[in-house]
Structure 1
Amino acid sequence: MYIIRTTMMLCQQAQAPVIQMTTGGMDLSVLRRRAQKEKVVVVMGATGTGKSRLSIDLATQFQAEIINSDKIQVYEGLDIVTNKITEEECNGVPHHLLGFVDPESDFTARNFVSTASMAMKSIVGRGKLPIIAGGSNSFIEALVDDENYDFRSRYDVCFLWVDVSMLLLHQFVADRVDRMVAAGMVEEVRSIYNPNADYSKGIRRAIGVPEFDSYFRAEYSSSSDEKTRAKLLEAAINETKINTCILAHRQLEKIHRLRNVKGWEIHRIDVTKVFQKKGREADEAWGELVTGPASVIVNEFLYNFGHSRGFAATADGRGRGFRVAETGSAMATAIYN
């Protein structure tokens, strides 16, 4: 039995969408009458690839709310270790299933299916689009293929896969762990350290917690010297980096299985060129190569305009735009592949 602390990360009111449709006099009520299922967007990818960023970009354009599908970020606490999105980063978009479970409890895939289902129903009831984002593909698979809930009979789903060259991702992960350490990760883990803790339960399963056990034991030992503790700290940080890279590989393996074995239609968006840039150039590349193509895909999915006259939309939140006329599947494929 898991314990819920709170139900939703409270952010400011979501921004109005920036997608603008030109229908040429088409009666949109026809589209509404044809719709038999609600729409859901799922943003997938390995850790560190930019899933949260893309989900927020899309949410601000399409009047959406985000449901977290990261099995560790559902727990309350350890915000640095679990890399939870901050209130500022959420850009006014409401986030559900984020930091709402007691850290000592176990939150299972079955728990996720039930709570995510309620969140989707609530979001749809407010006339918003649910966007599910997170790296726990086992949670997403459990939800989509759940026989009791019958997800596919209720929802049409659009899968977006944010992907990057593994070599670049390894370097990014290493740098991110260093930034987390600088931001106070060690102190954060120390605050929950218990020499008798079970690292197979709750939030203590998070990468970056069990790796520091030997270091903290040395801290509490009168026989360890400063040099020994420094070596153990360095080893813990390196192990955290290695285990995060191993996690990324496993996440990719699951996505490939869902795509190639189970036959899920998953749109791959390659962000490798973005990771090769820095600063403003990286932000501009993100808008052009990631947010823009993803917006095209989601717009076609939502409005079924795959072979009709086009629409105008902004590629990022800073006024830079792209224009698509006569948008079709071939064009979308050319953009994001």
Structure 2
Amino acid sequence: MTTSARARVLVLLGPTAVGKTRLSLELAAACGAEIISGDSMQVYRGMNIGTAKITPAEMNGIPHHLIDIHDPEDAYSAAEFQEQGTRLIEEITGRGKLPFIVGGTGLYIESLCYGFQFSEAVADEAFRKEQDAYAEEHGALALHARLEAVDPVSAARLHPNDRRRIIRALEIYHQTHTTLSESHAGQTKESPYDLCLIGLTMDRKILYKRIEDRIDQMMAEGLLAEVKGLLDRGYSRTLVSMQGLGYKELAAHLAGELTLAEAVILLKRDTRRFAKRQLSWFRHMKEIEWIDVEGEENFSENFAKIRGIIAKTFEKPL
């Protein structure tokens, strides 16, 4: 039973390249919604092709939030996303619209939907410098192995190149003797909102083919030039933003470490692995209604099915 005192929040999630954008636009138009991007990379200005960022023209008049809000040198966190998303849900609801979270960054979306409490471990600059120096001397994989030894769940979720988040996970364990994954697992799953969570999925082989086709399209659209432009403007390869898929592989090519063909092969592999991690994260969120969206010819059927789920969850048509 829904409660009028609680804001309704619609959520559409799923792995990269599964087809969230088109469905989100149709649903937003049908439901009178404003979209909150649940993507950790689309916050960065100038990082458009590699993040598959929707263009203003493609938005078709639907308000989109938390896109292009940071320059690439500014680190973005789940805690910041949660704070901004909480404010947006209140503002959108106050306008008589439906807040609609769309994306694939599991921790961000779950933290907002369930009001996660983030670790109170404060920054320990000496510890961070020590870990950073260790990574510089022994390499990213060695630092990742340190995390794997104390928190294998978080290590499986974090890419070895995601140095900032790996060091933060080590820092939390160092200070609290509780792992980041234990902290996440111990969060209450009582939402302050009336949630309707829709997950999109498809056969893994089809998804992987869509991922590879999308990367080929990104390369044709000028992803290499986008990465070169960011580097030319002085954005370091070590930035969190530049560790994103597509950016780190092509930056390695531009540094002479990989041929272009090798970089593209690596990008496709890394993106397939990322999609697998996304699905693993979402599978533990028990309230999601999953929709198999294979085949463009089934769009109308899938759209109608989702509309039915929304109406049933919120107990009246939107």
**If the TM-score is normalised by the length of the shorter chain, which range does it land in?**
0.7 to 0.9
Corresponding residue number in structure 2 for 1:238? 265
Q: Is the 8 A contact 2:253 2:260 kept in 1?
A: yes
Change in Cα spacing, 1:299 to 1:238, as seen in structure 2 (3 Å) is same
Decide which moves more: 208-217 or 113-122.
208-217
Corresponding residue number in structure 1 for 2:276? 249
Change in Cα spacing, 1:118 to 1:296, as seen in structure 2 (3 Å) is same
Q: Is the 8 A contact 2:228 2:251 kept in 1?
A: no
Corresponding residue number in structure 1 for 2:292? 270
1:107 aligns with 2:120: no
Greater RCO, 1 or 2 (C-alpha within 8 Å, sep 6+): 2
In the alignment, structure 1 segments of 5+ residues that lack a partner are 1-30, 219-228, 260-264, 275-281, 306-310, 314-337
In the alignment, structure 2 segments of 5+ residues that lack a partner are 119-187
Decide which moves more: 170-179 or 201-210.
201-210
Partner deviation per Cα, 1:191-236 (whole Å, 9 max, x = no partner): 1126996545332121011112332123xxxxxxxxxx9x700111
Separation in 1 of the partners of 2:101 and 2:81?
A: 12
Residue 119 of structure 1 and its aligned partner are, at CA, apart by 1.1
Change in Cα spacing, 1:210 to 1:253, as seen in structure 2 (3 Å) is same
RMSD: 2.5
TM-score by length of 2: 0.73
Change in Cα spacing, 1:109 to 1:200, as seen in structure 2 (3 Å) is farther
Corresponding residue number in structure 1 for 2:299? 286
1:120 aligns with 2:89: yes
Q: Is the 8 A contact 2:196 2:313 kept in 1?
A: yes
Residue 75 of structure 1 and its aligned partner are, at CA, apart by 1.2
Partner deviation per Cα, 1:2-61 (whole Å, 9 max, x = no partner): xxxxxxxxxxxxxxxxxxxxxxxxxxxxx99x6221100111100011112221111000
Separation in 2 of the partners of 1:181 and 1:158?
A: 36
Separation in 2 of the partners of 1:62 and 1:42?
A: 12
Residue 122 of structure 1 and its aligned partner are, at CA, apart by 1.0
1:191 aligns with 2:191: no
Instruction: Kindly name which structure, 1 or 2, has the bigger radius of gyration based on alpha carbons.
Output: 1
Residue 256 of structure 1 and its aligned partner are, at CA, apart by 1.1
Separation in 2 of the partners of 1:85 and 1:151?
A: 31
Indicate the SS of the match to 1:107. coil
1:173 aligns with 2:211: yes
Amino acid at match of 1:269: I
Separation in 1 of the partners of 2:60 and 2:234?
A: 40
Partner deviation per Cα, 1:134-161 (whole Å, 9 max, x = no partner): 0001101212232569995631101000
Summarize the alignment of residues 85-164 of structure 1 with structure 2, pairs less than 5 Å apart: 85-147=54-116, 152=190, 154-164=192-202
Amino acid at match of 1:238: I
Q: Is the 8 A contact 2:231 2:237 kept in 1?
A: no
Indicate the SS of the match to 1:252. helix
Identity of aligned residues (%): 33
Q: Is the 8 A contact 1:160 1:266 kept in 2?
A: yes
Q: Is the 8 A contact 1:37 1:153 kept in 2?
A: no
Indicate the SS of the match to 1:191. helix
Q: Is the 8 A contact 2:72 2:235 kept in 1?
A: no
Whose helix proportion is higher, 1 or 2? 2
Separation in 2 of the partners of 1:182 and 1:256?
A: 33
Amino acid at match of 1:179: Q
Q: Is the 8 A contact 1:143 1:151 kept in 2?
A: no
Amino acid at match of 2:69: F
Q: Is the 8 A contact 2:41 2:241 kept in 1?
A: yes
Separation in 2 of the partners of 1:167 and 1:126?
A: 42
